[in-house]
Amino acid sequence: MKNFWLLCFLLSTLWGVAHDGYDLWLRYDQIADETRLGEYQNAFGGIYFNTDSPTLKVALQEMDRGLSGLLAQSPRFLDTASDGAGLIVLKKVLLDATTLQQVAGDFEGLGRDGFVISPITSNGRKATLITANEDLGILYGVFHFLRQLQMQQPLHALKERSTPKTDIRMLNHWDNLDRTVERGYAGFSIWNWHTLPDLIDQRYIDYARANASIGINATSPTNVNANAEILTPHYLEKVQALARVFRPYGIKVYLTARFSAPIEIGGLQTADPLDTQVRQWWKDKATEIYSLIPDFGGFLVKANSEGQPGPQNYGRTHADGANMLAEALAPHQGTVIWRAFVYSEHDLTDRAKQAFSEFVPVDGQFHTNVMLQVKNGPIDFQPREPFHPMFGAMPKTPLMMEFQITQEYLGFSTHLVFLPRLFEEVLQADTYRKGKGSTVARVIDGSLHGYTRTGMAGVANIGTDINWTGHPFGQANWYGFGRLAWDPYMSSEQIAEEWLRTTFSNERGFLQPMKQLLLGSREAVVHYMNPLGLHHIFDSGHHYGPGPWVDNHSRPEWNPVYYHRADRLGVGFDRTATGSDALQQYAPHWAEKWGDLASCPEEYLLWFHHLPWTYVLKNGHTLWEGMALTYQQGVVEVQQMKNTWAQMAPYVDLEQHDRVSMLLDIQLKEARWWRDACLLYFGQFSGEPLPPGVDAPDHSLGYYQSLKFPYAPGIRPSWDD
């Protein structure tokens, strides 16, 4: 035992202090490559950095922190640029004519948030300039510059002109006021409402730093299943304190507004959006909020969905409800973000059709400061879905993407799943609404329809765990969301490389295998959970593990059997003209392609078709054989992930390596659980044996059906189980 602890001490000395993950991708460890280190030290020996605002002050602090760690020496800040500065950080308005001329062409269209990093000649010597139109652009430029140093890019590569392609880049927290987190798997809420506004936790500041480093500029700290109490003076004072922390980092606060708040906290008898008193109540509430938080972003609203109150309670439309709030916010330049995730127990049509049916007919009826926030797919954050048919179908109403970063349907925080691969798949999908090239990304950035407001939201995976996200690799999904919100055209491969380099190592022996692991991880999850277009077959309520047999809920669409429709004849949901006809909500290109078995991609096969078990797939296997072999493939892929990670021990500190190894053990165990439970269940309908190459289940179907998880994390408290 004594020798064991000696070995641990020697290893910690070799690797430095063990990383607990708290620093996220902002690890500023000394650059190991001595050549690159010397290059940077010589180039950035003197720095001129103008600071005349809170935002520029935090930018300077970040530069000091980053260079002190990366270059192993405290940076020397100069009083003037003429003192031989190798790094100059200045806004455009402060640049002299000679310097401005060297970067003049780079400022066009830069906007408020964009930045330029450029090599220049200053006072006869080579230097690097970070500049922008506004203070916030400087902050973003500093973070990007430090990221390039973390990745050990050569000096000639430190040249960038970058401007965000979306305006609102927001994290949606589903955090409750009691600090539980709906669909949260990384501990409790980081917002300690009890000690706010007087106690400002360092984590609030580090949260703002992390978000600013990837361009996130908005946050809604409370659950979309909203509690009206957040709009009371007692809580608004607490929100004001958070807004004060976030302001230097360019982050605006939005609040989730419960539609029935005028009744619950306002003493009114109705929340009818056309009622004069109700409309005045919201106007007064908006004025109250802006008096405390002058840069308040606006309201995020979930209405008439899953039992939440809304305008339809009073016979009004979504446009009526959204426009009432828009009028209250308009004098303050605030925005209403109205979620399009709606489905009703009173609507017996295909759940996948309901949002399109409710919103597309009222396109053009929303006020100009209203945005509709649309989930990436028509059901609910499944491991794979076709893109939502609303994208491209509402040219007169700005649509804002909603991705889920927290892994509600992808193994919580115990499964390694690189979600930027999923995000990229959706963003690059072509809607064909205005011909070929009408991608979802072009809808989101406004270029397809000329939207004047644009945005992307992600449901956060952040909690009080020391590493923020539970699984160390869950950080990559937060990071990747921010990078794609800034630029929806980034590749998941580039994001993977950036995150691996800044979080772990620049060593080629680590980067190449780990990049492939990340890029293949989402497909592995699809294989062992929802192959060939199966969807929403998760156990109900907590969504933890398989539950394709569940059929006892009062609302049909809460039952997994609703989605797979397995019987002796076959399996799958018919969404063609012979079924729910959900295909008609897509452009004709997709309706024809997905509706025809000859051209429908097999990853969407059972999403759009109910097929016999003997249907022959493109590889010659029957549907049953293909399903079984794909489940098996998913298990094998997780085993391969384990094998790859085992070889990464030389590049990762011992604590991190052990933690991820144990999590991969859990993932492999649960991949087998998914395979065995689903094949036993569907096998009783197919009547066919498992094909060669598929492992026999460890237990009976009855065993898997008996498993209960009443205390699984992240359960919605009011869910009707």
Burial 305-334 (b: 16+ CB within 10 A, else e): bbebbbbbbbebbbbbbbbbbbbbbbebeb
One-character DSSP codes across 620-656: S-BHHHHHHHHHHHHHHHHHHHHHHHHTTGGGS-HHH
Contact 171, 457 (CB under 8 A): yes
Handedness of CA 642, 648, 649, 652 (dihedral sign): negative
In terms of Cβ atoms closer than 10 Å to its own Cβ (0-12, 13-18, 19+), residue 283 is middle
Beta-strand runs (E) in 110-259: 115-122, 125-131, 160-162, 168-172, 218-220, 252-256
Rounded distance, CA 622 to CA 115, Å?
A: 55
Residue whose token pair is 């970070």: 130
Beta bridge partners of 116: 131, 161
Cis before 398? omega within 30: no
The secondary element (H helix, E strand) that includes residue 5 is: helix 2-15
Rounded distance, CA 311 to CA 429, Å?
A: 33
Q: How many residues comprise the chain?
A: 721
Is 408 marked active-site?
A: yes
Contact 528, 674 (CB under 8 A): yes
Structure token digits, residue 135? 């203070």
Contact 374, 401 (CB under 8 A): yes
Is 380 marked active-site?
A: yes
Contact 359, 391 (CB under 8 A): no
Rounded distance, CA 548 to CA 686, Å?
A: 14
- Cβ-defined contacts of 93-102 (< 8 Å, 24+): 94/50, 95/131, 99/129, 102/129
Phi then psi dihedrals of residue 162, to 5 deg:
-140, 135
| Active-site choice (106, 175, 408, 574) | 408
Contact 265, 236 (CB under 8 A): no
Cα–Cα nearest to 247, from 193, 196, 287, 205 = 205
Rounded distance, CA 384 to CA 577, Å?
A: 22
Cα–Cα nearest to 553, from 306, 210, 223, 305 = 306
One-character DSSP codes across 486-512: H-TT--HHHHHHHHHHHHT---HHHHH
Contact 268, 310 (CB under 8 A): no
Beta bridge partners of 120: 127
| Active-site choice (350, 380, 498, 670) | 380
| Active-site choice (306, 320, 385, 637) | 306
Contact 533, 703 (CB under 8 A): no
Active centre residues (catalytic): 306, 380, 408
